[in-house]
Amino acid sequence: MNAQQHHVVIVGAGFGGMEAVAGLRNSGARITLIDQRNHHLFQPLLYQVATTSLATSEIAWPIRHLLKRRKDVTTLLAEVVGVDTAGKRVLLDDGSSVSYDTLVLATGARHAYFGHDEWEPFAPGLKTIEDATTIRRHILAAFEKAEREPDPQARAALLTFVIIGGGPTGVELAGTIAELAHDTLRGEFRNIDTREARVVLVEAGERVLAGFKPELSAYAKTALERLGVTIKFGRPVTDCSAEGVTFDGRLLPAKTIIWAAGVAASPAARWLGAESDRAGRTLVEEDLSVPGHPDIFVVGDAAHVAWKDGKLVPGVAPAAKQQGRHVAATVRTRLSGDAAPRPFRYDHSGDLATIGKRAAAIDFGWFRMTGWPAWWLWGIAHIYYLIGFRYRLAVSLNWLWIYMTGQRSARLITQGSRRQAAP
């Protein structure tokens, strides 16, 4: 390969895509990064925007600012709608296209409603900044409308918050909403007692944090219940509507429902005409290339990557970063004339989940921890991955303030009129 002429197109500026860009620094290749948003998002802390702990600007950064010193990188704000593998072109939503020599698809995942997409308007998921601000607006507006609601049953529905799915996102959302209602907002209303708010976590399985060790799942359950969260196990949801959530044959009236139960991969496999699994993830070779297309790689949530004991590489930020780094290294070796495939090996860095502001569960395999020491370690780990000293300092100070006072400062109802914000 001639590095000076080689054009690498990377679709998606998430963890995998940005790590691939970083790994190709000084490679001699020309790089084009395409994303439908102009910011890189630190998705693990997105729930903290939804629950008023952090502002959007503290977990998202303009892509152009991050790459302004990379003269080898061109950034395009565009939506990809397909890939012409024969012509080696990426197709954009405005009818134009971008040619490539190597293509990296790091397009992430979206919400999966298990065949019930009609539930989405009533039970939004949490994948983007727009999702987070919508959920935040809905949560805060529920309290505001409850303040003016004279009917006890209608008020109870407004003060009922249901989270569907007991994975890390569901657990983190449930714990923080409970603290918001029972601690942060206490005493701020005159006609309602926010401590009467009900937070319900519905999990179809038999335990929360099913990917963690059973003892850590048990700890998380106890910690959630200590915060006042009601947990319903073994209760698959059968309907979501404007009236509430139906499970176990009964309707639970609720005006705020949040979906944290499943994801589906982006349409990358469909663009390529490649084989995919049930969740839409592209089945890739050991080096993360697409079968029959050694010049195309898929990384992150969009890729089906085998790990061990029949498990897949989890859809977490460290995995996406490792995959992006691996693809960049593969491209560099190819540019140097070595085309031998190198299998990707995932190094699992551990499982982490926080439950409110004073509890967390951490499993590094060789080391496990719970309680407030785990919460501090969880915080340090996340701050480490934030970009730039300013953002690390801002988030650290916010968390310290919340830890000490219980107050969350990002409680603004924005983006939409008051009437639109109300549930």
Q: Which of 19, 46, 47 has the alpha carbon at shortest distance from 33?
A: 19
- For residue 295, how many other CB atoms are within 10 A of its CB? 15
Both tokens assigned to 416: 């939409």
Count of positions (residues) in the chain: 423
Tokens coding 153: 């049953």
Q: Which residues contact 77 (CB under 8 A, 6 or more apart)?
A: 35, 36, 37, 38
Q: Are 119 and 112 in contact (CB under 8 A)?
A: no
In sequence order, the 6+-apart residues with CB closer than 8 A to the CB of 270 are 276, 280
For residues 216 and 212, what is the distance between their CA atoms, to the nearest angstrom?
6
Query: Which of 128, 139, 135, 126 has the alpha carbon at shortest distance from 40?
Result: 128
Contact 142, 255 (CB under 8 A): yes
**Torsion on CA atoms 210, 319, 370, 357, rounded to nearest 10:** -100
Classified as helix, coil or strand, 300 is: helix
C-beta of residue 358 within 8 angstroms of C-beta of residue 178: no
CA-closest candidate to residue 162, choices 178, 146, 149: 178
Distance CA 331, CA 353 (A): 34
**Rg of the chain (C-alpha set):** 22
Task: Residue 330: name the closest of 286, 282, 283, 287 by CA.
Answer: 287
Contacts of residue 186, defined as CB under 8 A and 6 or more positions apart, other chains included, come to 193, 194, 195
Burial of 368: CB neighbours in 10 Å, binned 0-12, 13-18, 19+: middle
Tell me the catalytic residues: 172
Q: Which of 293, 311, 314, 317 is nearest to 303 (CA)?
A: 314
